[in-house]
Amino acid sequence: MEAKEVDSNFMLGVKKRFRIVPGGMNEGELTMSAYVVGMCEAFKDHIPNTNPTTPFPANKYLWRQKVPDLAETQEVLDLGYQRAIGMLLWAQRGVYPECAYGLNQLCRLMSAPTREAWTAAMHMMAYLRINKDKGIKFHSKGNENPVVFSDAAFNPDPVDGLSQYGYCAMWMGGPLASCSKKLAHVGLSSFHNEYMAIRHAASEAMWIRQLLTEIGCECFVREPTKIFGDNDAANNLTAEDFVSTGNKYIYTPYHWIKELDKGGFIKVFRKGTKDNLSDLFTKPCVREVCDCLIERLKGYAGW
């Protein structure tokens, strides 16, 4: 197999661009324009001629059917559902973190998709088509100390009772890592879900702290990493050792957060829902929320 020299600024569908902007600030931007064009070309006969303002249809929830309609499932699989989701996943993991919630929903139906799921997938492709030239951005005047936003919804899946949680880690003004998944345990309240979500956000914070230290960038993590959540009860429990009827049932391993707080590794603070970037990872947000948060999440606006 012959090897060839290629442009290092273009790799695995991601194009890197670095420049110095007025004022002497260094700026880096990652985009996937060519990849999105190719993906949309592959499904051009199915993508609606619309301009979606949200990455996933607003207020749309997809639940697995207990008894799938086999004919419908086969029809959607024949359209190329699994290929479409695979391509969308690569774009999301590259430069479209705002698509994480929608793709978590779409992946749940990977083996037995519905027409509703297919329509939602094509909606996302239409969204990427009109946002193909906008990726994620970082700059030298961004936050030198990483911060993590955490959130959880109280929207239990009717099948297993699990709700959605999400987090995003921001560094140098842009998204370093993000996640949108179902919690591993059933939450009995919004507070319970939020507390479990903070545990996952704290794990990501610790990974980032250890990685930066390992590569010689410990100067960025000398202070506790800030984690922002919008539930006061959950935030307070991370630092206080009070036991009540409202928290005595929480699984012990989740209290690992307290150890991190006492050790000076993390500190949890309040961030109102309207400014909590991780709100995008817990629900199918409406246009107003997307307009407010996506630009900030992707590093094109301050947060």
What are the helix (H) ranges across 96-189? 100-108, 115-130
221/212 Cα distance (integer angstroms): 8
Instruction: Say what the pLDDT of residue 3 is.
Output: 84
Partner residues linked to 269 by β-bridges: 228
Q: How would you classify the pairing of strands 136-139 and 174-182?
A: unpaired
178/28 Cα distance (integer angstroms): 19
What is each CA distance from 77 to 63, 101, 105, 124, in whole angstroms? 17, 21, 16, 17
Instruction: Say what the pLDDT of residue 247 is.
Output: 85
**Model confidence over 100-141: pLDDT tens digits?**
999 999 999 999 999 999 999 999 999 999 999 999 999 999
Instruction: Say what the pLDDT of residue 56 is.
Output: 98
54/180 Cα distance (integer angstroms): 16
Backbone angles phi, psi at 29, to 5 degrees: -135, 135
Burial class (CB in 10 A: 0-12, 13-18, 19+), 222: exposed
pTM, entire model: 0.94
> Which CATH superfamily groups domain 142-297?
Ribonuclease H-like superfamily/Ribonuclease H (3.30.420.10)
Instruction: Say what the pLDDT of residue 245 is.
Output: 79
Burial class (CB in 10 A: 0-12, 13-18, 19+), 227: buried
Domain spans of the chain, in order of start: 33-130, 142-297
Instruction: Say what the pLDDT of residue 302 is.
Output: 85
Q: Are 299 and 31 in contact (CB under 8 A)?
A: no
279/53 Cα distance (integer angstroms): 16
Calculate ∠ Cα 175-275-59, nearest 5°: 90
Nearest to 268 by CA among 237, 302, 303: 237
Taking only the tens of pLDDT, the chain with its 303 residues reads 788 888 888 989 999 999 998 888 899 999 999 999 999 999 999 999 999 999 999 999 998 887 889 999 999 999 999 999 999 999 999 999 999 999 999 999 999 999 999 999 999 999 999 999 999 999 999 999 999 999 999 999 998 999 999 999 999 999 999 999 999 999 999 999 999 999 999 999 999 999 999 999 999 999 999 999 999 999 999 998 888 878 899 999 999 999 999 999 999 999 999 999 999 999 999 999 999 999 999 999 987
What is each CA distance from 113 to 44, 57, 60, 71, 78, in whole angstroms? 20, 16, 15, 11, 11
140/59 Cα distance (integer angstroms): 37
What is each CA distance from 10 to 39, 86, 133, in whole angstroms? 17, 20, 14
Residues 6+ apart with CB under 8 A from 73: 112, 113, 114
Instruction: Say what the pLDDT of residue 7 is.
Output: 84
Instruction: Say what the pLDDT of residue 121 is.
Output: 98
Instruction: Say what the pLDDT of residue 21 is.
Output: 83
Q: What is the side-by-side order of every strand in the sheet holding 164-171?
A: 174-182, 164-171, 147-152, 225-229, 266-270
Q: How many of the other CB atoms lie within 10 Å of CB of 252? A: 6
| SS percent in the chain: helix, strand, coil, step 5 | 40, 20, 40
151/24 Cα distance (integer angstroms): 35
